[in-house]
Amino acid sequence: MTVLTEEEEYSGATLDGRLTKISKFSNENVSWFMPLRPQSKVKILLSMLTSGFLYYIARYRDSSFRKKLLITIEKFQPEIIHYDIITISQYVGVTPIGVGSIASINDSYALTLQNALEQGNYTGIESIYRKIQLVFTRRYESRIYPRFDYIHVMTKIDANYLEMLNSKIKCRAIANGVDPRLFENVKFTKNNKNVVFVGNLVAENLIYLNKLLTVTWPVVRAANLQSKFYIVGRINDKVRELVSLYDGREGVIFRGYVENIVDAYKDCGIALAPVNKDCGILNKAIEAMAAGMAVIGFNKSFSGVEGGRVGEHYLTSENYVSMGEVAIELLRDPIRHAEIQENAYLLARENFSWESRADHIEKMYADALESAKADSKQYEFPAR
Run of H or E residues at 60: none
Contact 200, 234 (CB under 8 A): yes
User: What domains are defined for the chain?
Assistant: 32-177+354-374 (3.40.50), 180-351 (3.40.50.2000)
Pick from 147, 138, 46, 53: nearest CA to 94: 147
The tens place of each residue's pLDDT in the chain, 384 residues long, gives 444 344 444 444 454 555 555 555 555 556 677 777 777 888 877 777 777 777 878 888 888 889 989 998 988 888 999 998 888 999 999 999 999 999 999 889 899 889 888 878 788 998 998 898 899 899 999 999 999 999 999 888 899 999 999 999 999 998 888 888 888 877 777 778 999 999 888 877 888 899 999 999 999 999 988 899 999 988 888 888 888 888 889 899 998 888 888 888 888 999 999 887 665 556 788 889 999 999 999 887 787 777 788 889 999 999 999 999 999 999 999 999 999 999 999 998 888 888 878 888 999 999 999 999 887 554 444 444
Per-residue buried b or exposed e for 364-382, using 16+ beta carbons within 10 Å of the residue's own CB: bbebbbeebeeeeeeeebe
- Sheet containing 80-83: give its strands across: 80-83, 100-106, 150-153, 171-173
User: CB-based contacts of 76: which residues, under 8 Å, 6+ apart?
Assistant: 25, 29, 30
Residues in a beta bridge with 294: 270
Q: DSSP 3-state assignment of 14?
A: helix
CA 26 – CA 32 distance, rounded (Å): 10
- What pLDDT score was predicted for residue 382? 46
CA 361 – CA 368 distance, rounded (Å): 11
- What pLDDT score was predicted for residue 18? 52
Amino acid at 260: N
- Output the DSSP codes for 153-169: ES-HHHHHHHHHH-TT-
CA 66 – CA 37 distance, rounded (Å): 13
Contact 247, 254 (CB under 8 A): yes
Contact 194, 229 (CB under 8 A): yes
Neighbours of 63 (CB within 10 A): 10
Phi, psi of 375 (to 5 degrees): -110, 115
CA 278 – CA 184 distance, rounded (Å): 29
| Interstrand relation of 315-317 and 252-256 (parallel, antiparallel or unpaired) | unpaired
Strands (E), 176-314: 195-198, 229-232, 252-256, 270-273, 294-298
Per-residue buried b or exposed e for 99-138, using 16+ beta carbons within 10 Å of the residue's own CB: bbbbbbbbbbbbbbbbbbeeeebbeeeeeeebeebbebbb
User: CB-based contacts of 364: which residues, under 8 Å, 6+ apart?
Assistant: 102, 150, 152, 172, 174
- What pLDDT score was predicted for residue 21? 52
Sign of CA dihedral 159, 310, 218, 224: negative
Q: Output the pTM of the full model.
A: 0.72
- What pLDDT score was predicted for residue 6? 41
| Interstrand relation of 150-153 and 294-298 (parallel, antiparallel or unpaired) | unpaired
- What pLDDT score was predicted for residue 220? 93
Longest dimension (CA), the chain: 68
Run of H or E residues at 352: none
- Output the DSSP codes for 163-188: HHH-TT--EEE-PPPB-GGGGGGGGG
Q: DSSP 3-state assignment of 1?
A: coil
